[in-house]
Amino acid sequence: MHGKYKLVGHNAVEVEDLLEWAKSMESDNRIVGKTEKDGVKVSTVFLGLDYNFGEGLPLLFESMVFGGQHDGETIRYATWEEAEMGHKQMCTAIL
């Protein structure tokens, strides 16, 4: 495993070629969700790298809070579907 992934639709596919991976990361299709309320933002994106570092399922998506009392809070997910659900849950809990 190389730990680099690109999105094909909403599915993460492992990529060995660094240039192919870098080009795929330039796309806006990596954004799962962006929500803002009262100056606090929740952003959920495809990371393109395995943040589980080969230990179990790859964690390829991340929700992060910007601003407010939960600033910097982060949750990672393995799939686009988990990330969508996690984004909604984080928004409900924080915004």
In angstroms, the CA 53 to CA 63 distance is 18
Residue 2 predicted with pLDDT over 70: no
pTM: 0.92
Residue 58: pLDDT over 80: yes
What pLDDT shows up at residue 56? 87
List, for residues 5-53, the tens digit of each pLDDT value.
999 999 999 999 999 999 999 987 999 999 999 999 999 999 999 998 8
Tell me the per-residue pLDDT of 59-73, one tens digit each, with 9 for 90 and over: 999 999 999 999 999
* Domain chopping of the chain, boundaries: 5-94
**Chain centre to alpha carbon of residue 93:** 18
Residues sharing a CB contact under 8 Å with residue 95, sequence separation 6 or more, in sequence order: 35, 37, 38, 40, 42
